[in-house]
Amino acid sequence: MTTDATGDTGTTGDRDDGRPVEIGRKPRPHGPATVAVTAGRPPPVPDGPLNVPVVFASALHAGGVVGYARDGNPTWTPFEETLAALEGGGAGLAFASGMAAIAAVLELLPVGAPVVHLDHGYTGTRELLATAPAGRWEPRPVDICDTDATSAACAGAALLWLESPTNPLMEVADLRALIAGAHRQGALVAIDNTFATPLVQRPLDLGADVAVYSATKLLAGHSDVVLGATVTRDEDLTHRLAQHRRLHGAIPGPMETFLALRGMRSLALRIDRAQANAATLAERLSEHPDVSRVRYPGLPADPGHERARCQMDGFGAMVSFDVVGGAPAAEAAARSTRLIVHATSLGGIETTMERRAKYALEAGTPPGLVRLSVGCEDVEDLWDDLVHALRIGRLAAAVVPSATGG
């Protein structure tokens, strides 16, 4: 019998390879960082690979459970298992893109179904709802920071669609209250958790029915993959989403799924570094004379700070800030970076930024708002680049002092 430092005891036996192993003690559950590294791996066999190799196949031998390559691929499985394990259980499904995953959830709803959604959020979701054939859905835009009004809007609704923090205003919703209120009125709840990832926020543990991801972003993390995903603990929802993926052809490529899983193995490391960088930059930006407002829930003065502290395991790597001088200053700053990449995407290992109100669907976004996706570079190098860019922005605003619109 053995005794460890805590006083726990267990008997000792032998493994097949001759090494002793304790018997009779339940192992401690692995932490999220360990799950990201180890979940979805094949059983160990001598000379076998540590990860499932990429399987390129459109035709499969008959007699199995898959039958056809649109129904399944061995490369999808480890990615889906790993993501579901990070969510704390359930079933993951990989999709061709984040929009494919969003569309799959919405298409589960009957014609005319009321959908409560945030008035400021990811443009792709809002555009899909706005451009659908007349009567396909009944969109009900809400301010999700107003918990009572959002809950009231869920009366008779089929779905409450949430983001938190929101894209790009970084608003934080009271997720527990909103989810409970929607469920009381019979509505499903889906949360786009792309900004947070399951290492920072787990929607299913908060009560949501479906977690949705653009795996293109932080999950894959290297700006080389387009992929989406859903996770749910409801077997019927899983079946219906998988059926939609199969019938609508929204399937991921095996190489993309393999690369996304490889990126996800380092998710904990990237999130830790990017969050630390984001916190430092947000604090410094809040004191910079060319910035009128910083939107980051990690700042104690941020309106969403207390909510985020209660429902998140961190504050994420996304920062938005309003540049003094409006659109001309913000646009010039975004275009003048030397290290930070001027690009519309986010969540990569590199830092990216852009002025969001230049897009038509961002008409309600402040004209001088810049969205900053913080990566893993040296934070002092990032800060030097931001200071340089803001200086250029100030000069641009001085040239056009009266221009403040988008």
* Strand pairing class (228-232; 137-142): unpaired
Query: Catalytic residue numbers?
Result: 70, 122, 192, 217
pLDDT of residue 343: 96
Which residue ranges in the chain fall short of pLDDT 70? 1-24, 400-406
pLDDT of residue 329: 97
Query: Quick one: angle between helices 76-86 and 254-264, nearest 10?
Result: 40
pLDDT of residue 338: 97
Taking the model in full, what pTM does it have? 0.91
CATH number assigned to the domain with residue range 76-264, chosen from the 4 options 3.30.530.20, 3.40.640.10, 3.20.20.70, 3.40.30.10 = 3.40.640.10
For residues 300 and 309, give the distance between their C-alpha atoms in angstroms, rounded to a whole number.
10
For residues 358 and 354, give the distance between their C-alpha atoms in angstroms, rounded to a whole number.
9
* Strand pairing class (318-323; 291-295): antiparallel
pLDDT of residue 363: 82
Q: In what order do the strands lie in the sheet with 291-295?
A: 291-295, 318-323, 369-373, 352-355, 341-342
Q: Where are the alpha helices (DSSP H) in 45-97?
A: 76-86
pLDDT of residue 403: 45
Is 196 within 8 Å of 345 (Cβ atoms)? no
Domain ranges within the chain, ordered by starting residue = 76-264, 268-399
pLDDT of residue 23: 62
Output the CA torsion sign for 233, 75, 375, 394: negative
Output the CA torsion sign for 44, 50, 56, 58: positive
pLDDT of residue 401: 55
Backbone angles phi, psi at 11, to 5 degrees: -80, 160
pLDDT of residue 140: 98
CATH fold of 268-399: Aspartate Aminotransferase, domain 1 (3.90.1150)
Q: Mind listing the pLDDT tens digit for each residue in 10-24?
A: 444 545 555 555 666
pLDDT of residue 399: 81
pLDDT of residue 360: 86
